[in-house]
Amino acid sequence: MGFYAEKILPPLLDRVMANPDFAPYRQATLANVTGDVLEIGFGTGLNLSYYPPALQHLVTVDANPGVSAIAQTRIAQSPITVDLRVLNGERLPMPDATFDSVVSTWTLCSIRNVDQALREIYRVLKPGGHFFFVEHGLSEERSVQVWQNRLTPIQKIIADGCHLNRNIRALVAQHFDRLTITTEYAPKTPKFAGYFYQGVATKKL
């Protein structure tokens, strides 16, 4: 991982993702998280204040040690005990059927092998477990898609692998048996970056 991705990008990412317009998406995504929980792409820890009060322990993974360093401040201020691991979501060391809930917020866009990551998420969920997510991705408008496809090569460079044009609905549906999802443009966000997918996918019993 290069100097830019580990040292320059993390504080920029923290500032962008702390946008108060994103708070309702975090609240809605995390409201029903229960049990043993894994968060993929923990980033700088912005989700911590939105987890339900009953949650006492959280396992998190993120491949970027730079964002993990920033997250330590929020972890120290949180009542939740966080088991923070610097590793890639494509290769999780946890046994099968470990977690009741897995969380991902604005992360699937950046994982290189996103299909493998989703297979891992499915694997570590318990039967009947839920995958809670909010992600940005491919718009349904062709005119917006054109710009998403044009800008993705640049976005991947400046945002550490982030894709603007991934079809999150299709990707998640390939791996899960039940999927509830809504889509909309986020307020005050350019359409090419602000088409949000929010949903819950469930592993079969």
DSSP assignment of 14-26: HHHHT-GGGHHHH
Alpha-carbon Rg for the chain, nearest whole angstrom, is 16
Domain that holds residue 38: 3-202
Q: What is the pTM of this model?
A: 0.96
pLDDT of residue 43: 95
Six-digit token pair at 187? 């307020």
What is the domain-level CATH number for residue 110?
3.40.50.150
Tens digit of pLDDT for each residue in 154-198? 999 999 999 999 999 999 999 998 999 999 999 999 999 999 999
Tens digit of pLDDT for each residue in 77-116? 999 999 999 999 999 999 999 999 999 999 999 999 999 9
pLDDT of residue 171: 98
How many structural domains are present in the chain?
1
Alpha helices of the chain — where are they, by DSSP H? 3, 9-17, 23-30, 65-77, 114-124, 142-158, 168-173
- Residues 126 and 62: their CA atoms lie apart, in Å, by 21
Please provide the average confidence, as pLDDT, over all residues in the chain: 96
